[in-house]
Structure 1
């Protein structure tokens, strides 16, 4: 029943998206034709000599966009990722569709259409599609919170990956999962409200007694057991998913090639090299320069507020460790009292972060203005100058302190293979609420799986996180 309900809603919103995009195209076409031939606005202008050209363009772009919607699985009503991811894929799909359509139109010699209409259609249709998908996400979240679309799931394994998954599914209700419980050969009554369903051998019985739609396996290292489970469960009408070991995933960035006739696998430290690295630096320079100009009024207001609130300088300069272990000075708006560094030794026993980083939710050194600018990451805006200079990037690992780096092992040192960033995967995944270990995993995952598209996704996800002030102190 829930599947049918979800399918109906998916079809409905796709229909509205198609309708909105079509209206945008034909309004632009009609406006262009009326301006060019001095006609009255009729919305169709079918008898125009250019109607067939525009129709060919619209149909080809629509077919390509439809294929890409299916390719990126954008047709589903259930959310499998955040809104930023979905909107990014929509923009990507529509942009590809327009570019490919232009190429095909030239090959077919259907070129008698306005470039202004094409560009306007590209931008306005994306806005229309994103608006419809934003509304869809709002409806989805409300239904998911009420349990109308929730999917019953059983989790196999309650180790660190199982626990992390349970927290993820519980904290993000938009994913639409209802945890029936978990099976594990070691009883763990402290996990997720005591939803322990017994050992893994009891799984068949659990599935008989409960309406389970999906099983998620979080013990990928136990390959023999996983293979037996898949063989046994694939006969049932149940979705099976496997959460990969993050460490193995991190080490999976390889290039397949050969030395003469011998096949070889080359371990790649990071994809952040060559033309991609040059492109990233170009974006950093352009975006940081533009951002500094746009937020100049915020710089001014923050500076005045800091000066009126407490004694001391406006800018706080702190030594951090950058790419390849090179030290640099990172700039921030001062959010603490002027003698904050000397007071740190008195507060070390109150450290609330595990690992070597220092974090304290109610740090007495933070000023009144400082608490506000920290919550909304305004204190980090001067780092745009670090990006412009070249010792930081817009997106990258968190820049560590020298005393933190002193405790790094070989694995942690990998964070220093790239420029540190103002924001990063850690920023959009919990900020200060993350443990030191989670920071490390997320930073190294980012380094191993970097791409320009990945950077754009992180930047898009940073906006709502900063506006909500989540996990910052």
Structure 2
């Protein structure tokens, strides 16, 4: 068995496995700290918006020496249990807690704007529907405070994302937070991918091995552009497991679509491995694809890795909250439509 493997593989896949430059808990810790930072910024933006609008302190001391809300801020304080989840869920919905792979500062700022803008609209809608509960049902909220809150949240959250991404660029140039990547096939496309990722480590990829499309030619060099050849397409699932690769780029346009999908099935989606494919292979694309770009190179992502259990819970919670708010906002319109149907036609409104 070992003799057969030595004949088949030029370089053992396990030898190209890159040891982690940081402990596994670092990325979850950074995401957690980022979420707590966003929570603090959402609270601070809302409180600062009140101060800028009214020029009044938000706290006062009671006769017992305890801090409490001033009466003017109390109706807004009652909204904080809605403001904070809406902000965090929208940021998660727009994938602003992702630290893996390539990113664009412009794209990040666009997603921050969408998350804060839609979040502010939902906060306004929730404020005027909920009105702080029974205690403040007759209170009239200031629209200026919501405008200031939007601007402050946009600037502060955007600034934090810029600082985070700048830190990622610095760390990636030092070899940290890079995705171990395999490339399938030799040729011009593979050469471009290797050179682009090597010249721009801030993209977040480290090419650790090359996989031949078909049987290895004994006359072919065992390295391609300094990258070791570790196997062929048939052995790709095993090469992924042994090398610890998290990304596979298909650069050879002659790769059979059936063989590619067999590899993906054998690899299993729960391993968190993403497959990207050169646009020249559009003839074998499934319907569930995503057009993407790595640096200046166009890519098509096949089957994004599935959401984790925590991510599914967050997504489900966001769906329920947004759907509930939409139902509440549109309820008067639906009641009006039901009334018009009842006045215009005989029988029940619902069929």
**Fold match, TM over 0.5?**
yes
Shift of 1:21: 3.3
Q: Does residue 174 in structure 1 map to residue 207 in structure 2? A: no
Shift of 1:59: 3.4
Task: Give the 3 Å change call, closer, same or farther, for CA 247–154 of structure 1 in structure 2.
Answer: closer
| Partner secondary structure for residue 100 of structure 2 | coil
- CA separation in 1, counterparts of 2:60 and 2:228? 63
- CA separation in 2, counterparts of 1:113 and 1:207? 57
- Where do residues 200-211 of structure 1 align in structure 2 (5 Å cutoff)? 200-207=233-240, 209-211=242-244
Task: Give the 3 Å change call, closer, same or farther, for CA 429–233 of structure 1 in structure 2.
Answer: closer
Q: Does residue 88 in structure 1 map to residue 110 in structure 2? A: yes
RMSD over aligned Cα atoms: 3.9
Q: Deviations over 1:334-365 (max 9, x none)?
A: xxxxxxxxxxxxxxxxxxxxxxxxxxxxxxxx
Q: Does residue 245 in structure 1 map to residue 254 in structure 2? A: no
Partner of 1:324: none
- CA separation in 2, counterparts of 1:85 and 1:3? 27
- Where do residues 139-158 of structure 1 align in structure 2 (5 Å cutoff)? 139-158=167-186
Partner of 2:41: 20
- CA separation in 1, counterparts of 2:46 and 2:182? 46
- Where do residues 224-243 of structure 1 align in structure 2 (5 Å cutoff)? 224-234=258-268, 237-243=271-277
Contact 2:91 2:97 in 1 (8 A): yes
Shift of 1:196: 2.6
* Structure 1: tracts of 5 or more residues without a match: 254-427, 431-437, 443-473
Shift of 1:231: 1.7
Partner of 2:4: none
- CA separation in 1, counterparts of 2:196 and 2:177? 17
Contact 1:185 1:199 in 2 (8 A): yes
Partner of 2:320: none
Task: Give the 3 Å change call, closer, same or farther, for CA 40–85 of structure 1 in structure 2.
Answer: closer
Shift of 1:88: 1.0
Shift of 1:175: 2.7
| Partner secondary structure for residue 203 of structure 1 | helix
| Partner secondary structure for residue 152 of structure 1 | strand
Shift of 1:136: 0.8
Q: Does residue 183 in structure 1 map to residue 232 in structure 2? A: no
- Where do residues 41-80 of structure 1 align in structure 2 (5 Å cutoff)? 46-80=68-102
- CA separation in 2, counterparts of 1:235 and 1:99? 36
Task: Give the 3 Å change call, closer, same or farther, for CA 222–85 of structure 1 in structure 2.
Answer: same
- CA separation in 1, counterparts of 2:60 and 2:203? 44
Task: State the TM-score, normalizing by the size of structure 2.
Answer: 0.61
Q: Deviations over 1:39-80 (max 9, x none)?
A: 687599844334343134443233222222222221123353
- CA separation in 2, counterparts of 1:107 and 1:40? 24
Shift of 1:180: 0.7
Partner of 2:151: 123
* Structure 2: tracts of 5 or more residues without a match: 1-21, 133-138, 288-293, 300-351
Task: Give the 3 Å change call, closer, same or farther, for CA 41–227 of structure 1 in structure 2.
Answer: closer
Shift of 1:252: 11
Contact 1:34 1:40 in 2 (8 A): no
Partner of 2:30: 9
Q: Deviations over 1:87-112 (max 9, x none)?
A: 11011101000012212322234562
Q: Deviations over 1:135-192 (max 9, x none)?
A: 1112211211112222212122345544443344323312322111110226675843
- CA separation in 1, counterparts of 2:189 and 2:72? 59
Task: Give the 3 Å change call, closer, same or farther, for CA 240–123 of structure 1 in structure 2.
Answer: same
Task: Give the 3 Å change call, closer, same or farther, for CA 133–51 of structure 1 in structure 2.
Answer: same
Q: Deviations over 1:1-51 (max 9, x none)?
A: 64421121222233223323322321232454554xxx6875998443343
Contact 1:141 1:174 in 2 (8 A): yes
Shift of 1:134: 1.2
